[in-house]
Amino acid sequence: MKTRDKILHKSLELFNELGEPNVTTLLISDELEISPGNLYYHFKSKTDILTEIFGWYEREINLLLESPNSATDIEDQWFFLHLIFENIAKYRFIYKDVVNVLERYDEVKARFQKIILKKREASLKILTSLQQQGSLRANDSELAALGEQIVLTATFWLNYKLITHGELTEDMLAQGVYQVISLVAPFLDDEQREQLNELKTAYL
Amino acid sequence: MKTRDKILHKSLELFNELGEPNVTTLLISDELEISPGNLYYHFKSKTDILTEIFGWYEREINLLLESPNSATDIEDQWFFLHLIFENIAKYRFIYKDVVNVLERYDEVKARFQKIILKKREASLKILTSLQQQGSLRANDSELAALGEQIVLTATFWLNYKLITHGELTEDMLAQGVYQVISLVAPFLDDEQREQLNELKTAYL
DNA sequence: GTCTATACTGTGATAGAC
DNA sequence: GTCTATCACAGTATAGAC
SS3 category, B23 = coil
Separation between Cα atoms, residue B10 and residue A101, nearest integer Å: 24
Asked if A104 and B152 count as a contact pair (C-beta separation under 8 A), the reply is no
Which residues of A sit within 8 Å Cβ distance of B? Answer: 19, 21-22, 96-100, 102-103, 112-113, 116-117, 142, 145-146, 148-149, 152-153, 155-157, 159-160, 162-164, 178-179, 182-183, 185-187
Query: What CA–CA distance (Å, rounded) separates B181 from B10?
Result: 34
**Mean pLDDT of the region A146-150:** 97
Asked whether the beta carbons of B39 and B29 are under 8 A apart, the reply is yes
Q: Which of B155, B163, B178 sits opposite A160 (nearest CB)?
A: B155
What's the pLDDT at B70? 65
Q: For testing the chain B interface, which of A149, A168, A184, A187 should be mutated: the one with the most B CBs within 10 Å?
A: A149
The H-or-E segment that residue B112 falls in is helix B106-132
Give the pLDDT band of residue A10 (cuts 50, 70, 90).
Answer: very high
pLDDT band at A196 (very low <50, low <70, confident <90, very high): confident
Which domains, ranges and CATH numbers included, belong to chain A? 1-44 (1.10.10.60), 46-203 (1.10.357.10)
- pLDDT over 90 at B102, yes or no: yes
Interval B188-195 mean pLDDT: 88
Q: Give residue B68's pLDDT.
A: 75
Are the Cβ atoms of B182 and A102 closer than 8 angstroms?
no
Taking residue B2's Cβ as centre, other Cβ atoms within 10 Å add up to 8
d(CA A171, CA B144): 18
Residue type, A66: E
| C-beta of residue B168 within 8 angstroms of C-beta of residue B102 | no
Give the model's confidence band at B52: pLDDT under 50 very low, under 70 low, under 90 confident, else very high: very high
User: How many whole angstroms separate alpha carbon A88 and alpha carbon A119?
Assistant: 12
C-alpha–C-alpha distance, residues A36 and A34, integer Å: 7
Of all residues in chain A, what percent carry a pLDDT higher than 90?
A: 82
Task: Please name the nucleotide lying closest to B35, CA to C1'.
Answer: D3
A100/B102 CB distance under 8 A:
no
Instruction: Give, in order, the Cα–Cα distances in Å from A67 to each of A13, A144, B27.
Output: 27, 22, 48
Question: In this model, does residue A70 exceed pLDDT 70?
Answer: no
Q: Is the pLDDT of residue A68 over 80?
A: no
From the centroid of its chain, how far is CA A196?
22
Tell me what the mean pLDDT of segment A109-137 comes to. 95
> Pseudo-torsion of CA A91, A92, A96, A100, nearest 10°?
0
Q: What is the pLDDT of residues A73-118, one digit of tens each?
A: 888 889 999 999 999 999 999 999 999 999 999 999 999 999 999 9
Phi, psi dihedrals of residue B84, rounded to the nearest 5° = -60, -45
Q: What percent of chain B has pLDDT over 70?
A: 99
**Percent above pLDDT 90 for chain B:** 82
Q: What's the half-sphere exposure (Cβ side, CA atoms, 13 Å) at B197? A: 10
Task: Give the pLDDT score at B74.
Answer: 82
**What pTM value is reported for the model?**
0.96
Contact predicate B147/B127, CB 8 Å: yes
The answer to whether residues B53 and B8 touch, using CB atoms and an 8 Å cutoff, is yes
Mean pLDDT (whole number) for A166-189 = 92
Residue A196: count of CB within 10 angstroms of its CB: 19
The minimal CB distance from A183 to the residues B112, B117, B149 is found for B149
Nucleotide nearest to A27 (CA to C1'): D11
CA/C1' separation A2–D18 (Å):
21
Question: How close is the nearest chain A Cα to the Cα of B88, in Å?
Answer: 15
Q: Which of residues 10-49 of A touch strand D (CB under 7 A)?
A: 24-27, 36-37, 40-41, 44-47
Nucleotide minimizing C1' to CA distance for residue B42: D1
The mean-pLDDT minimum among A20-24, B155-159, B168-172, B198-202 falls in B198-202
Q: Helix-strand-coil percent breakdown of chain B, rounded to 5?
A: 80, 0, 15
Q: pLDDT band for position B131 (50/70/90)?
A: very high
Instruction: Answer left, alpha or beta for residue B29, where phi above 0 means left and psi between -120 and 50 means alpha.
Output: alpha
